[in-house]
Amino acid sequence: MAVKQEITAALARYFTPQEVALVLKALPPLKTPVMDLVYPESRRRQKATPYISIAEIKDRTGAAPVVRKGTRSVPLDTGAVSGQLLEPEAFNPSIFSKASELNQLFALGMGTGVQAFIRDAIETLRNACREGTEIMAAQSLSGAIDYPMATESGSFLSYKVQYGTIKTLSAANIAGAEYGALHQILEETYAEQQNSGYAGKIRFLCAPDVYAAIINIVISKSAIPSTFTGDGLVIEGKYHILPFGHTYKKPGESNASPVIPEKFIQTIDLDAPHTLFYCAIDDLDANLAPMPFYAKPKFSDDPSGVKIIGNSKPLPAPVLSAMRRRKLLS
């Protein structure tokens, strides 16, 4: 058997959906703070087709998304909402190995070296897809996703999904405030969240400056019933205050964007049906299967070698009516 055919057959054995799933299961878990908090495993849905029904998204989140690619909107079916479909954009990161590198690897035999090469490739591509999904999940907490997707020509096209706007409450200023004033603001905000109809597991996500201001007020009054936890601060057993200084960088950008803007808090009901959809992979080698990630090798002659391509089709869908924003610092 020719060397190329031997390597092709060998790699094919390791890149079936079943084998990729086994590699993923053995990899160390990734920590993605927004996904882990808002879209945990129980909120992730794998679709058996490359499409998602707009009606299903609306039923879960209360909003029908508006999608744009570049400067044009994406046309949907002209019938009722129940017949409209949305196809999320796919993440397709890749890594390339030269033929000379593969020859050296396979010359050592089909042992741990080849398996390590495949594991490392899958881990690298999984991490890239997960990072992109985390960015989209972070953006979804603002009501809109805006992500630069690479095209076949190497340029980038803006992929936008607009769910709506989050209700913003009247501004306040807690800088230097007494605890009584802080308590009133927290209770007002909590009540507004309750009035939304989503009040099962309310959390206050705080920009770092707001969290610091709250801490200063609380520690200045020793009589306040408060508890510091691994996640943040619980006041009076009711107000769960989480520091949320997480940021993200979109591909091609050097400046980081905060998930929660400076001077703001954002309440959210974590029991609301925020959903992270994963659509079926558009690849016959993956059997068009519903899975969050897949990878496959693609051989080329110029340059000679193999490109391993990752594939993932996620779409975070937040329940915006289960969120409130409020500015708490001037």
> Which single residue is written with the structure tokens 């808002």?
38
The pLDDT of residue 301: 82
If asked whether residues 135 and 252 sit together in one domain, one would say no
The answer to whether the peptide bond before residue 303 is cis (omega within 30 degrees of 0) is yes
What total number of domains does the chain contain?
Answer: 2
For 137, 164, 196, 285, 290, the CA distances from 280, given in Å and listed in that order, are 19, 26, 34, 12, 4
3-state DSSP call for residue 201? Answer: coil
Q: Identify whether 119 is part of a domain.
A: yes
- pLDDT, one tens digit per residue, over 141-170 is 999 999 988 766 767 788 899 999 999 999
If asked whether residues 36 and 74 sit together in one domain, one would say yes
If asked whether residues 40 and 153 sit together in one domain, one would say yes
The pLDDT of residue 79: 42
- Alpha-carbon distance 283 to 308, whole Å? 14
The pLDDT of residue 152: 67
Q: Identify whether 99 is part of a domain.
A: yes
Please report, as a single letter, which amino acid is at residue 195: N
Q: Supply 160's token pair.
A: 């936008």
Q: How far apart are the first and last CA of the chain?
A: 73
Q: What is the CATH number of the domain that holds 60?
A: 3.15.30.10
The gap from C-alpha 216 to its chain's centroid, in whole angstroms, comes to 32
- Alpha-carbon distance 49 to 42, whole Å? 20
If asked whether residues 23 and 144 sit together in one domain, one would say yes
If asked whether residues 177 and 260 sit together in one domain, one would say yes
Query: Is the distance from CB of 52 to CB of 279 less than 8 angstroms?
Result: yes
If asked whether residues 151 and 45 sit together in one domain, one would say yes
The pLDDT of residue 109: 64
If asked whether residues 24 and 111 sit together in one domain, one would say yes
Q: Identify whether 327 is part of a domain.
A: no
If asked whether residues 45 and 95 sit together in one domain, one would say yes
- Residue 308: domain span: 3-163+275-321
pLDDT tens track, the chain, 330 positions: 466 677 777 777 888 888 899 999 999 999 999 999 999 999 999 998 888 988 899 998 988 888 876 544 444 443 444 458 888 988 989 998 887 787 777 766 656 677 888 899 999 999 999 999 999 999 999 999 999 887 667 677 888 999 999 999 999 999 999 999 999 999 999 999 999 999 899 999 999 999 999 999 998 887 888 999 999 999 999 999 999 999 999 988 899 999 999 999 999 999 999 999 999 987 877 777 788 999 998 888 878 888 999 999 999 999 999 999 999 999
Q: Which residues of 99-112 are buried (b: 16+ CB within 10 A; e: fewer)?
A: beebeebbeeeeee
Query: Is the distance from CB of 19 to CB of 115 less than 8 angstroms?
Result: no
Q: Supply 14's token pair.
A: 């390791």
